Chain A
């Protein structure tokens, strides 16, 4: 069983993506042996009114609800997000949130974020935060030129112990591994951009926060799935620990049966 914590549907304005529909994603998942994927709308990142992206997502994945697990994209600084949150969870069956503080121009430590995080905690929704969508070194002239600092997520996690934070698409885990303070227990890290050989950042991460807080992801259709799968294949840890990363940790966060 494999659960991909990091998949997307929709149009990316700065490069032609392939497989960026529900059908396309299923094709990639089948090709790579991925059973389920957490998915959000790329369109919702760019619409001022994110909710329309969430509505599109729910409609598109309807035939694949058994495999595609929708997360809502919300902007706590945009009007009526509380109503959108309620609709996403109660009517559209969204199982978590995916937040983009840099794209939506807010900080995780600001008042509006605190209110959104508080509501998400009450609803038991995990929060996924991609530190970037594409590598800023190749950014389009209208796109972001930086990543979200990990320390901002760590601080938010410290201030909101009732929430669960899953960090996506990070190439570095230095602030987690080298930080003097204990890593908040509510922080999880998706491993697709980390390494299993040479610098061995996946192993270092496991040593620091425990295998139970590392989750599998790919970043499809932005990325090939195979690099992340290859890292898991050659990772020098016990099979049971691999199972936890491949799917059990994420299944628990999603409230799925992890036995």
Chain B
């Protein structure tokens, strides 16, 4: 059993495609033995309006309907829209059946603007997946076009403010300094890391387990499908740890929902 805690569907907002279809995604998952794909459709640059946010979530919902046994959805919101974001979360979770919230880089995790959303997520006991990473320098964060990307320190600060929230530091293997991210989260029990991203550095999964414990590590791909599965299979883990990471931890999170 494998649950991919961080994935995306084929379409983006504005009608652009990633060059493959949802059928291709499901076929890839089947080849790699991935049972569930937890997907979102975020906007990766700039401040999307509510219309764009709703369009994104409708794209995710279409994929959920297309593959109801395979694709589950996260609701993407822009925290700058206070009331509308909360309403959109309620629409996505209660009406469309989404299982969590996806936040990107519109605001950093330690900015007060995100608190209403995080408190709402804590109330509903649904996970919040953060696009996260620690760039080598602020200048490089700017060069990436992501001056407000959150890292482990920012997410830890938020987690301490809302200790009953379930937060996920996205793609620890997504390209930033993963040692920074893991160390920052050591003493913050309500934050999980997902192992997605194209980085397959030997030892990355073992360090997650060593610092956070196997029960705070979630298997994910973020569309680096073979890398995602391969690094968990390649890591020096017990069978029990591998099971926790591949699906049991995420399954446990999903069972906490009060919706």
Q: Does A129 count as interface, using CB distance less than 8 angstroms?
A: no
Q: Point out the residues of chain B lying under 8 angstroms from A197, CB to CB.
A: 24, 27-28, 31-32, 225-226
Q: Does B123 count as interface, using CB distance less than 8 angstroms?
A: no
A102 to chain B, nearest CB (A): 16
Cα-based distance from A135 to B174 in the complex (angstroms): 10
B206 to chain A, nearest CB (A): 9
A184 to chain B, nearest CB (A): 27
A138 to chain B, nearest CB (A): 5
Q: Does A177 count as interface, using CB distance less than 8 angstroms?
A: no
Q: Does B60 count as interface, using CB distance less than 8 angstroms?
A: no
**A19/B202 in contact, CB under 8 A:** yes
Q: Point out the residues of chain A lying under 8 angstroms from B235, CB to CB.
A: 224
**A18/B203 in contact, CB under 8 A:** yes
Q: Does B124 count as interface, using CB distance less than 8 angstroms?
A: no
**A231/B175 in contact, CB under 8 A:** no
**B175/A198 in contact, CB under 8 A:** no
Q: Does A147 count as interface, using CB distance less than 8 angstroms?
A: no
A31 to chain B, nearest CB (A): 9
Total A-B pairs, Cβ < 8 A: 93
Q: Does B199 count as interface, using CB distance less than 8 angstroms?
A: yes
**B230/A224 in contact, CB under 8 A:** yes
Q: Point out the residues of chain A lying under 8 angstroms from B234, CB to CB.
A: 32, 224-227
For A17, A220, A234, the residue with the greatest tally of chain B CB atoms inside 10 Å of its CB is: A234
Cα-based distance from A172 to B119 in the complex (angstroms): 41
Q: Does B87 count as interface, using CB distance less than 8 angstroms?
A: no
**B198/A171 in contact, CB under 8 A:** yes
By secondary structure, the A interface counts as loop
Per-residue 0/1 for B118-137: is the Cβ within 8 Å of any A Cβ (1 yes, 0 no)? 00000000000000010111
A139-B136, A230-B32, A234-B31 as given contacts; A195 in contact with B201, CB under 8 Å: no
Q: Does B229 count as interface, using CB distance less than 8 angstroms?
A: yes
**B175/A135 in contact, CB under 8 A:** yes
B171 to chain A, nearest CB (A): 11
Interface residues of A in 223-237 (CB under 8 A from B): 223-231, 234
Q: Point out the residues of chain B lying under 8 angstroms from A234, CB to CB.
A: 31-32, 226
**B202/A221 in contact, CB under 8 A:** yes
Q: Point out the residues of chain B lying under 8 angstroms from A224, CB to CB.
A: 200-202, 230-231, 234-235
CB closest chain-B residue, reference A192: B200
Q: Does A67 count as interface, using CB distance less than 8 angstroms?
A: no
B172 to chain A, nearest CB (A): 11
Complex partner residue of A226 from B20, B135, B175, B233, CB under 8 angstroms: B233
Cα-based distance from A18 to B31 in the complex (angstroms): 30
Among B62-70, B89-97, B176-184, B250-258, the one that faces the other chain is: B176-184
Q: Does A134 count as interface, using CB distance less than 8 angstroms?
A: yes
Complex partner residue of A198 from B28, B144, B178, CB under 8 angstroms: B28
**A135/B199 in contact, CB under 8 A:** yes
**B229/A198 in contact, CB under 8 A:** no
For B19, B227, B235, the residue with the greatest tally of chain A CB atoms inside 10 Å of its CB is: B227
Q: Point out the residues of chain B lying under 8 angstroms from A171, CB to CB.
A: 198
A252 to chain B, nearest CB (A): 26
CB closest chain-B residue, reference A229: B230
B212 to chain A, nearest CB (A): 18
**B136/A230 in contact, CB under 8 A:** no
Interface residues of B in 6-26 (CB under 8 A from A): 18-20, 24-25
Q: Does A59 count as interface, using CB distance less than 8 angstroms?
A: no
Q: Does A15 count as interface, using CB distance less than 8 angstroms?
A: yes
Q: Does B140 count as interface, using CB distance less than 8 angstroms?
A: yes
Per-residue 0/1 for A45-71: is the Cβ within 8 Å of any B Cβ (1 yes, 0 no)? 000000000000000000000000000
14 contacts between A and B (CB under 8 A): A15-B179, A15-B201, A19-B202, A135-B198, A137-B136, A139-B136, A197-B226, A198-B20, A221-B202, A222-B201, A224-B231, A225-B234, A226-B234, A227-B230
Residues of B within 8 A of A (CB): 18-20, 24-25, 27-28, 31-32, 133, 135-137, 140, 144, 175-179, 198-203, 223-227, 229-231, 233-235
Residues of A within 8 A of B (CB): 15-19, 32, 134-135, 137-141, 145, 171, 193, 195-199, 219-231, 234
Give the top 3 A-B pairs by smallest Cβ distance, nearest first.
A227-B230, A226-B234, A224-B234
